[in-house]
Chains A and B, each alone.
Chain A
Amino acid sequence: MTTNMSGPTETTASSGESDGKIKDSNLRLTTTAWIAILILVFWVGVAVFAPFLAPYGEGDMVSMESFKVVEESSFLGTDYLGRDVLSRIIYGARMTLGLALIATILSFSTGIVLGFVAAISRGWVDQILSRSVDAIMAFPSIMLALIIIGGVGTSLPVVIFTVAMIDATRVFRLSRARALALDASVMEYVNVAEARGEGVTWIMLQEILPNTIVPLAAEFGIRYTFAILFISSLSFLGLGVQPPGADWGVMVKENLQGLLYGAPAALLPAACITTVSVAVNLLVDWFLHRSSTTIPGELME
């Protein structure tokens, strides 16, 4: 009620002044958002220009000595096979960021579409989709991935597809729940669109998606980081990125021993994963904040 300040002459009340201001502040990037964007742009740049930036090839043996600490020929030391850590991190950016991003985008588009379809159509469509997802989720995800990749044979598309499908079950649950929550709280604009004769696509993309984007965006930030780790685990088991290909997750796992010798070979790629996940989450936070101030007043209270 505090936001509704108009009196009996309410139709002419309070024109214009506030809305411009609100919009501007929405578009303005905060400091944290800038930091996040800088980090991400940096890594994307690294990934794109990897062959020009890396001093060595990703599989080149540059030293006979493994777990060497910093020296002039290899700036960040060498890994367990004597390969240049810096070069591998640079090449690894391609694999790690790319694979996880593709997998996450794939899992989100499938998960959201199926989740909304289930929520809108209800009945047996919902039952079939939800129960199948339940069945998939009943398996430990790493086990399921092992079975699928083991059965089909390992290749990057298979890895991406497997990770995406397993993640999609989580996204499905969330998006279905959010869409149903809109319905349960009697969001009549969905009924209005239905009564107008709109198709499922419009209702999904225009009415439901914008109103569920907040939790979904938060989920995206988390899922992306998880996808990086999941692919790393698969790589460690020999099912993901195949040697001598570089991947940050693989680098962490294969160089773990180095910690015993005080070599930074495992810590550096771990730090890289951290920067990316922090940046993604900062950006998501900014986005959430931005979109929550778009709806002033009672809806946010």
Chain B
Amino acid sequence: MSDLLKVEDLWVEGRPPGGKYTPIVKGVSFSIKPGEVLALIGESGSGKSTISLAMMGYARPGCRISKGKVLLNGEDVLALDLKGRRDIRGSKIAYVAQSAAAAFNPSMKINRQVTEAPILHGIMQENVAVEHAVELYRRLDLPDPESIGGRYPHQVSGGQLQRLMVAMALSCTPELLVLDEPTTALDVTTQIEVLKAFKDIIRRENTAAIYVTHDLAVVAQVADHIVVLYDGEMMEQGSTDEIVNRPSHEYTKILMSAIRQPPKGEGTHSDSSTATSIEEAISAAPLLQVSDVTAAYGQVTILRDIDMRVGNRETVGIIGESGCGKSTMAQVISGLLPPVSGDVSLDGNSLPGRVKGRNRDQLKRVQIVFQMADVALNPRQKIGKILGRPLKFYHDMDQARCKERVGELLELVELPRAFAQRYPGELSGGQKQRVNLARALAAEPDVILCDEVTSALDTVVAASVIKLLEDLQEKLGVSYVFISHDLSTVAAFANRIVVLYAGRVVEQGPTTSVLSPPYHPYTKLLLSSVPELRQGWLEDVMETQEARSGIAQDVKMSAVGCPFFDRCPVSIGGVCDTQAPPKRNVAQKHEIICHRQIDELLSEQEMAVGAAAR
């Protein structure tokens, strides 16, 4: 079969405003046959998105394609004029961006947006286009394919919107589909559902696809070939089997090592001595205690009856899907959102619910680090001022002492002292996150609330930030509440785990005890949804009971019964949906909130493993 797309020696240059052009993609060549999926993988800044855009003859503002050929069916896309390029965009090559929420116009119904391209290109009449769209919805396993197109984008879930965006891209039956990090922003459980749909439809339509991502485990599921990029250069290229199982290039190996695999379900309960000693420390005197907290935004109750404690020098991981109330928890503890009822106490002293009610010392001891360093740092303040303010505010430092301390803080988070003179916009994502962290450290707190601090970062950078957090805990003895939807990161880092679902704690306990093996059906679902770095994992996981019943369901907040009822594979009708589940102690300090007995859950576990093996 001849190549559908052939890229020869592609060079792209970019420049900062007013600066000189420097190459950002350096001589990349690859080819794709019809029905194949090629993955471009690398960190941010490796040029993978730039390459994928160049496939359509597009360069971002400030960039230009300086050299090379992009041959689609033998025709050079780069040689076409603007009109020629416009004709192939959408009709022959379609692009799926990372954020579906940003790619859809919120004020237009879905059908109109999905059918816009074929109607605009004059390929289809409106009624034919709509029929085709409905057919695509059906193939993408969307609920109510007949009527979903009549809704507005905010009326469907994130995973559904992501699939609808693929429907939009496929509406002209393009020959090449470019997917730019299409699942990166999604929860693991949603990611499975979307990946599955992508894979099926690519096979069925015999479309070629370029899949851009930084996640090797995801790539292993969908790609036939992999191109590894670093700093705009091709490091390695080969079949998925070769790259995943026998990587030859050093950089590919670094990428592999940055992936943290969650502990496997087969493990036994280890009674790790560190865990127990920390347990003892907590029961003696918890540093931070959250008791019976219920919190709400206006009329909508987000958190219900939360109990949680954090010990000295302890890391407590809070996990759950988006919308489960993880971030609200951080807001309540920090005093940004006063709880409706319940109490947050520090060292046994109750903290006032609002920031305004807390004194400076109480404020100083609990610091919060937000998820997006991009928006958490004021773009108009220099790093020196950002870090200097908490020093002055909490410690009344004078100018000279403050300047010295800012330097120390920067060194503490492994950044050069000269960064004090820079603006946040001049730093990379990982560097910003370090400054974000340094600001919290400036207060010399006892507890740092980390809200998804690594979620927006690449695997390699995220791993280095986690390493830093561990070092700082060692050095300063600070405790962390680490909020994340990324189970593998939490598993590798936290001493104890709190699993949240729909605003309630469904399980909590020492990390090893909670995860290996997982008891609660929801913990199981989360754990089994983390992509593994092996081919065929996606197919295997779809076979399991948890995945079948758990994915493609919306999280519902309910006041009665167990919130996980409608997604739970082992739910008991008439009980789980009407009665609040009891707390059960698996081991010391390991609680599960479920109607099922521990033994029942354990045997379910074995059944599931058995099913997967078959």
Contacts and interface: CB of A to CB of B under 8 A. Distances in A.
Interface in A182-233: 185-189, 191-192, 194-198, 206-207, 210-211
A295 B418 contact: no
Given A194-B355, A296-B17, A299-B425, A6 B378 contact: no
Smallest CB-CB A-B distances: 6 pairs:
A210-B380, A188-B376, A188-B370, A189-B378, A197-B363, A6-B428
A31 interface: no
Contacts of B609: none
A235 to B, nearest CB: 40
Question: Counting chain A CB atoms within 10 Å of each CB, which of B19, B358, B379, B414 scores highest?
Answer: B379
21 contacts: A2-B24, A2-B63, A4-B429, A5-B24, A6-B431, A7-B231, A10-B430, A25-B18, A188-B372, A189-B375, A189-B377, A191-B368, A195-B334, A197-B360, A198-B393, A210-B378, A211-B378, A211-B379, A211-B380, A297-B425, A299-B374
Interface stretch (A15-23, A42-50, A87-95, A250-258): A15-23
B257 to A, nearest CB: 11
A208 B26 CA distance: 41
Given A3-B16, A192-B370, A195-B335, A19 B375 contact: no
Nearest to B424: A295
Given A5-B24, A196-B393, A207 B378 contact: yes
Contacts of A191: 336, 368, 370
Interface size, B (range): 35 or more
A16 B428 CA distance: 14
Nearest to B426: A19
A299 B379 CA distance: 9
A1 interface: yes
B217 to A, nearest CB: 19
B43 to A, nearest CB: 7
Contact of A8 (B254, B372, B375, B443): B254
Nearest to A190: B378
A26 to B, nearest CB: 11
B239 interface: no
Given A10-B428, A11-B434, A192 B24 contact: no
Contact of B375 (A5, A6, A188, A296): A188
A11 B428 CA distance: 9
A296 B424 CA distance: 9
A74 to B, nearest CB: 51
Given A194-B336, A294-B425, 11 more contacts: A1-B49, A7-B45, A10-B428, A188-B372, A189-B376, A192-B370, A196-B389, A196-B390, A293-B17, A294-B380, A295-B425
Interface of B: 14, 16-19, 24, 43-46, 49-50, 60-63, 230-231, 254, 334-336, 355-356, 358, 360, 363, 367-368, 370-372, 374-381, 389-390, 393-394, 414-416, 418, 421-423, 425-426, 428-431, 434, 439, 443, 460-461, 464
Question: Counting chain A CB atoms within 10 Å of each CB, which of B18, B372, B425 scores highest?
Answer: B425
B379 A295 contact: yes
Contacts of B464: 10-11
Interface of A: 1-8, 10-13, 15-16, 18-19, 22, 25, 185-189, 191-192, 194-198, 206-207, 210-211, 293-299, 301
B428 A195 contact: no
B455 to A, nearest CB: 14
A197 B393 contact: yes
Contacts of B45: 1, 4-7
Nearest to A296: B425
A8 B378 contact: no
A227 B320 CA distance: 56
B428 A4 contact: yes
Question: Counting chain A CB atoms within 10 Å of each CB, which of B19, B50, B376 scores highest?
Answer: B376
Contacts of B431: 6, 10-11
Contacts of B375: 185-189
B423 A295 contact: yes
A185 B421 CA distance: 26
A198 B423 CA distance: 21
Contacts of B425: 294-299
A31 to B, nearest CB: 16
A244 B375 CA distance: 56
B428 A2 contact: no
Contacts of B356: 197
Contacts of B376: 188-189, 192
B239 to A, nearest CB: 25
Question: Counting chain A CB atoms within 10 Å of each CB, which of B16, B363, B439 scores highest?
Answer: B16
A197 B336 contact: no
Nearest to B442: A196
B374 to A, nearest CB: 7
Contacts of A15: 416, 418
